[in-house]
Every structure is written in structure tokens, then in C-alpha cells.
Amino acid sequence: MIVRIILLGTFFCCSIVVGAMAQKGKPVTGNTKLPFISGHQIRSLLSGSKVYHESPRSGKPLVMTFNKDGSALTKVSDGRRDTGRWWVKGNVFCMQFSKVVDARRLCMKFVQRGEYLVRYKSDDKKLRGIDWKILKSG
């Protein structure tokens, strides 16, 4: 009887561990919805604002300014600067600078956490790097 209980307990314990290992790294799916902010909220938050960020490539701190006219400026801590533009299409924020990230257009969605904007790709996967911190709100 004791051997049977031990074997049953061992099987149950191993089943839980194997099941948990199979779930590790699996993307969240189903009814889980991220609370993305709307295009209107993005415009309200970023138009005329300054945002702190650290480059995922270099790790250098930078400040981005999103002007009300759609122009943008980024200042890197090493003194480099770049100009570009920003816009909102639907509930997606996009920006493009003349040099930063090889002048590619970057688009993302946001979840707001207080003074921070958590950035997500269009497939709802979190972008690497630190979240944006709003320094000065428009």
C-alpha cells in the first residue's frame, strides 16, 4: 500500500513538472487581452511630449521629443541628434527618423503603466529594451 502511494505521488509530481515545463515560454493566448491605449490617447500623451528611452542596440540613454506638428527629435546622451516624424494610424504609433534604426519606420502599440509606456509589436509581443518614460507630457 505504501509503495503504491509513493509511486502514485511520484507520477503525479512528475506530471506536474513536465506539464509546467511544456508551458514555459509559450505565448499567452486565448481570452487574455492587453489593455492597449487608443490612438486618441496616444496623441494626447505624446503630442508635445518628451520621452526617456535607452537604445536596445547601444544601451545609451536618449530623449525623444514628439512635437505637435508631427515632427520629432531624438538626442542621445553622447551628443548625437536626429530628426524625424511621428504619426498615429488607428491605434498604432509610428515614427521614422533620418538615421536612427537605419531610417526604418517603427510602429508599435502601447500599454500605459503610470508614467511609463510599455511597447508592443503588432503581433502583441513586447518590444525589447526598457519601457518609455514620459518626462514631459504635452
Could you tell me the CATH number of the domain that includes residue 67? 2.40.128.640
Residue 107 placed within a domain: yes
Q: What pLDDT, on a 0 to 100 scale, did the predictor assign at position 25?
A: 36
Chain mean pLDDT for the chain:
82
Position 38 confidence tier, pLDDT thresholds 50, 70, 90:
very high
Position 28 confidence tier, pLDDT thresholds 50, 70, 90:
very low
Residue 10 placed within a domain: no
Residue 84 placed within a domain: yes
> What are the tens digits of pLDDT across the range 61-108?
999 999 999 999 999 999 999 999 999 999 999 999 998 778 899 999
Residue 13 placed within a domain: no
Position 12 confidence tier, pLDDT thresholds 50, 70, 90:
very low
Position 56 confidence tier, pLDDT thresholds 50, 70, 90:
confident
Residue 11 placed within a domain: no
Q: What pLDDT, on a 0 to 100 scale, did the predictor assign at position 32?
A: 65
**Position 26 pLDDT exceeds 60:** no
**Position 47 pLDDT exceeds 50:** yes
Expressed as residue numbers, the domain containing 80 is 39-136
pLDDT-wise least confident of 36-40, 42-46, 55-59, 74-78: 55-59
**Mean pLDDT score, 3-17:** 42
- Residue 23 vs residue 89, higher pLDDT: 89
* Partners of 63 in the β-ladder: 52, 75
